[in-house]
Amino acid sequence: MRVSVIGLGKIGLPLATQFADAGHRVAGIDIDSRVVDLVNAGTEPFPGEAHLAERLAELVPTGRLRATTDYADAVPGSDAVVIVVPLFVNDETWEPDFGWMDSATRSLAEHLTPGTLVSYETTLPVGTTRARWKPMIEEISGLTEGEDFHLVFSPERVLTGRVFADLRRYPKLIGGLSPAGAAAATAFYEAVLEFDDRPDLDRPNGVWDLGSAEAAEMAKLAETTYRDVNIALANQFGTFAAANGIDVHQVIEASNSQPYSHIHRPGIAVGGHCIPVYPRLYLWTDPDATVVRAARQANMQMPSYTVGLLDGALGGLTGRRVVVLGASYRGGVKETAFSGVFPTVAALREAGAEVLVHDPMYSDDELAAYGFTPYHRGEPITAAIVQADHPEYAELTPADLPGIEVLVDGRRVTAAARWPGVRHLTVGVGTLEG
């Protein structure tokens, strides 16, 4: 098959590589000429994705994988076009910003030829595939969906850093606008993916047709929104437990020993491209989802709550030198999308602290580009907040942070025994006094 992938980011490029590795001819499209040049040189444009570098080095020289900025060079004659272009959400209004996706869809439609399967993998509000993309593509291309081309939604369900493993591990969900479109999508994804045996599933792992684009759209929103709501519940349990001298992590471990309990873990922030964003997309089409809204708001308050723990322990933050450990939104990943570092730094500055940021994955220049003052181990500070669960932070001791009086661990990666003479606090853990 000839396949085009629009958007060569941290999901799109591994997808394109997977399709080429399955034996098909793949053209990736991206507006960033630097990314295109690197891909065509067989070089990964971003670090950290397992097995991507070696697959690019193998596939590009064979001609099975190439990149371009030109839709006219890739889309015409494609058997399938897969779109993985970012969808943004306004921080203030929580409304989706379709700007980049609208532009990509228009460019796709201008060059669409009959017989093509069009699959959107970017997470969307329910109803977007049918109500927004179908009429836009039909109007611009002059083609009719269901007759000249098929349009489906098939959400990406992978995590950066382990995309190839996740493509095998999780069922590939698809939802068409017609039975013929669903059949075409099923045939396509069965030809480009392989699946691990999953005896834990009620039906065989593979391509799962959910019956409609709307069901597939909702499935992606539901699985990510569930996590946000669950974390919010854990955070509320954690704040109550800490105020009452209880270790909520022991409570959660005990609760989850019963098979109907699956409580997540509390923490300083919920970051990344998915969990902070997709509940807002769900709320855009279901504004009456009060549980979803309350959970999102509760999780957004956790950085300020964590800074409040430090403020209380020190008796004030004015003039205190505080380091935030971790700019990444999660350990081991060089990515700051919706990272808790931003609201944590803002809350500390608002309280009058002198704030520094450390992250083993970022250079001083990279941290400075975010507006942070870089911190180096061995420099004197008053306090620290663990924001990202990088494994390096589990090995820290007071000698690494001279002068430290209080450590607030927002990720439960440090052990109090390694911090003699330092007040050690963990989000969700309280101590009974008296």
User: Hey, what domains does the chain have and what are their CATH numbers?
Assistant: 2-211 (3.40.50.720), 238-434 (3.40.50.720)
CA distances from 315 to 35, 56, 307, 309, 357 (A): 49, 54, 12, 10, 22
Residues 379 and 402: beta-carbon distance below 8 Å: yes
Q: Does the active-site annotation cover 274? A: yes
Q: What is the pLDDT of residue 160?
A: 86
Q: What is the pLDDT of residue 198?
A: 97
Tell me the C-alpha distance between 179 and 177, whole Å.
7
| Tokens linked to 291 | 């549980």
Tell me the C-alpha distance between 243 and 184, whole Å.
56
Q: What is the pLDDT of residue 434?
A: 37
Q: Does the active-site annotation cover 334? A: no
Q: What is the pLDDT of residue 92?
A: 84
Catalytic, out of 10, 134, 172, 220: 220
258: left (phi over 0), alpha (psi -120 to 50) or beta: beta
Tell me the C-alpha distance between 299 and 268, whole Å.
8
Catalytic, out of 10, 134, 274, 334: 274
Q: Which residue, among 145, 15, 3, has the nearest Cα to 81 in the 3D structure?
A: 3
Sign of torsion over alpha carbons 262, 268, 272, 275 = positive
The residues, any chain, with a CB within 8 Å of residue 410's CB and separated by 6 or more, are 267, 268, 269, 302, 306, 340, 344, 385, 386, 387, 427
Q: Quick one: which H or E segment has residue 290?
A: helix 290-300
Tens of each residue's pLDDT in the chain, 434 residues: 999 999 999 999 999 999 999 999 999 999 999 999 999 999 999 988 999 999 999 999 999 999 999 999 999 999 999 999 999 998 888 999 999 999 999 999 999 999 999 999 999 999 999 999 999 999 999 999 999 999 999 999 998 889 999 999 999 999 999 999 999 999 999 999 999 999 999 999 999 999 999 999 999 999 999 999 999 999 999 999 999 999 999 999 999 999 999 999 999 999 988 999 999 999 999 999 999 999 999 999 999 999 999 999 999 999 999 999 999 999 988 999 999 999 999 999 999 999 999 999 999 999 999 999 999 999 999 999 999 999 999 999 999 999 999 999 999 999 999 999 999 999 999 865 53
Tell me the C-alpha distance between 21 and 23, whole Å.
5
Question: Which ranges of 43-141 does DSSP label H, i.e. alpha helix?
Answer: 52-59, 71-74, 99-110, 128, 134-141
Can you state the angle between helices 12-21 and 52-59, rounded to 10 degrees? Answer: 50
By residue count, the chain amounts to 434
Buried b (16+ CB within 10 A) or exposed e, 371-403: ebebbeeeeebbbbbbbbbbebbbebeeeebee
Tell me the C-alpha distance between 16 and 320, whole Å.
49
Tell me the C-alpha distance between 64 and 358, whole Å.
41
Backbone angles phi, psi at 226, to 5 degrees: -55, -45
3-class SS string, 313-360:
HHCCCCCCEEEEECCCCCCCCCCCCCCCHHHHHHHHHHCCCEEEEECC
